[in-house]
Structure 1
Amino acid sequence: MIMNLLYLQQRVTVKELCNKLNVSEATLRTDLSLMEKEDLLIRTHGGAILKAETDYQRLSLEKESSNHIEKMKISQKASQLILNRQCILLDASSTALELARILAKVKHKLTVVTNGIQAAMNMKENPNLTVILLSGLLSMGSSALEGSYGIDLFNHINIDIFFTSSKGFTIEDGLTDYNIYEVDLKRAMADSAARIVALLDHKKMGKTFISSFASTEEIDILITDSLTPRSFIEDISSKQVEVIVV
């Protein structure tokens, strides 16, 4: 959480972190000192600033910048599927983060559930949105909460649409990823939603990874960009999946 706040704000204070994390100043000072030793940040009087070119920052930027224009177009189209007063679910993918940035400005009344810390932070200032951050394990270098700790929430709310991306997609294996902990959570997300909307740029197509969290037949709508081969789009459509090309 400290690293995500630094990534968003470049600077944090001990008092601010105390309020957000509900821990003592002594604990925070110890944490900040340890993080400085790990070369993640630079301590300042009363707080810390983001160290330029940390591995965390570099990895986050690389993930976000990959096919950025395509992801923006895909997320813009996805936002048009959302209706007033719906409850939607976002995973922690970089494309879903683009969608979260759009939702940060919408006038719809929405409930948004996500395991993406950056997505939640982007949306939290919009008074029209009720933002629910799933609990889970936060790994170093990641802004995604993982594991099955928060899935009990799905027994108490009705999800209208799950917006998700994946590391790979094939017709045979569906949506796949290599992080089995994140896959477990995404599978629970997919099971909880009335509809699944896959947000996939062309580089995800035809690739498969270790574990699947949703089959092709479970996908209701797939949004992709114009660089996805026409033959692949036709094959997906033949499985009764609505394909939208942007």
Structure 2
Amino acid sequence: MFANQRRNEILHMIQEQKTVSVQELSEKLNVSAATVRTDLNAMEKQELLIRTHGGAMMKEKEDIDKKYAIREKKHRSEKQRIAAVAFEYIEDGQCIILDASTTCFELAKFIKESTKRLTIVTSGLTTATMLKENPNLTVIIIGGIVRSGSNSIEGLIGHELLKKVNVDTLFTSAYALNASDGLTDFSLYEVELKREMVATAHKTIALIDNSKLGKSSIATFAKIDDIHRLITDQSLSPELTASFQAAKVPVEVAN
């Protein structure tokens, strides 16, 4: 079992049980206690759990989600620049997906003020509420689970809906992006839905501000070669640049 798979399983157990011990995880995962401690320490640095004496416990949901209203204000100017560039890749008559990220919410603001006729599929409650005011837009919200403190719909209840629409482009952000893991997020349930979005759309455009570059989270929903374009707000590190060049994925910096 790879490290990401182990940490996925650890997070799943913590979400179910609220607390876990090193010994319990060692027996369940069939790895040494030292390996488990390394995993727990790494996951604590990623703010996915709280380390306790002899184990770990779940962070409060509002801490994990960092509350949408708070996240929406962080790096807003960078997200707005990224969104302005992303808007140029939307054509009249298209069907697009917007995930529940705050960056896609900034993109939705441009869409709301436009005269383009579009079909918008979204997992974002705030995004759907705002876009429905524009009569040129057909807004489809993906069904699923809504957690306290979150703007996102999660899970695969809306999986069948995605099969019924022909999506031109998915616009998505992530908790983190690095060369080896690609686009990652901390919510396993949201990751499941994002994987389906990537599989459904003809093109995936990633909108990633500088605070997420070079970092990693618990689960991958898209590798770099699953992405068709990256829009960010600063130049990439040499490692990330090499990975995107190798995958022949264009990178655009929003100035």
Give the TM-score of the pair, scaled to structure 2.
0.72
Q: Is the 8 Å Cα contact of residues 147 and 182 (structure 1) preserved in structure 2?
A: yes
| 2: CA distance, partners of 1:227 / 1:140 | 36
Cα separation, partners in 2 of 1:66 and 1:230, compared to 1, 3 Å: farther
Q: Equivalent of 1:138, from 146, 160, 164?
A: 146
Tell me which of 120, 129, 135 is aligned to 2:137: 129
Work out whether 1:226 is the aligned partner of 2:234: yes
Matches within 5 A, 1:128-207: 128-207=136-215
Q: How many Å apart are 1:232 and its aligned residue?
A: 3.3
Per the TM alignment, residue 228 of structure 1 is displaced from its structure 2 partner at its CA by 4.1
Asked if the contact 1:75–1:96 (Cα under 8 Å) also holds between the matched residues in 2, the reply is yes
Give the structure 1 partner of residue 105 of structure 2: 97
Shift of 1:143: 1.1
The aligned counterpart of 2:245 is 237
Q: How many angstroms does 1:235 deviate by?
A: 3.7
Residue 106 of structure 1, aligned match among 107, 111, 114: 114
Q: RMSD of the alignment, in Å?
A: 1.6
1:24 corresponds to: none
Give the length in aligned residue pairs: 191
Residue 148 of structure 1: how far off its partner (Å): 0.3
Where does residue 39 of structure 2 map in the other structure?
A: none
Provide the C-alpha distance between the structure 2 equivalents of 1:198 and 1:146, rounded to a whole number of angstroms: 19
State how far apart, in whole Å, the 2-side matches of 1:230 and 1:128 are.
42
Q: Deviation string for 1:43-66 (max 9, x for gaps)? A: xxxxxxxxxxxx79x833320111
The match for 2:36 is none
Whole-Å separation in 2 of the counterparts to 1:62 and 1:155: 33
Identity across the alignment (%): 39
Matched position secondary structure for 2:251: strand
Please state how far the C-alpha of 1:230 moved relative to its aligned partner.
Answer: 6.0
Contact kept? 1:138, 1:146, Cα under 8 Å: yes
Residue 125 of structure 2 corresponds to which residue in structure 1?
117
Within 1, Cα distance between the matches of 2:91 and 2:176?
28
8 Å contact 1:197–1:222 — kept in the other structure?
A: yes
Q: TM-score, normalised by structure 1?
A: 0.74
Matched-pair contact (CA < 8 Å) for 1:201–1:228:
no
Asked whether 1:210 is paired with 2:202, we answer: no
Runs in 1 of length 4+ with deviation above 3 angstroms? 227-235
Any unmatched runs of 5+ in structure 2?
1-61
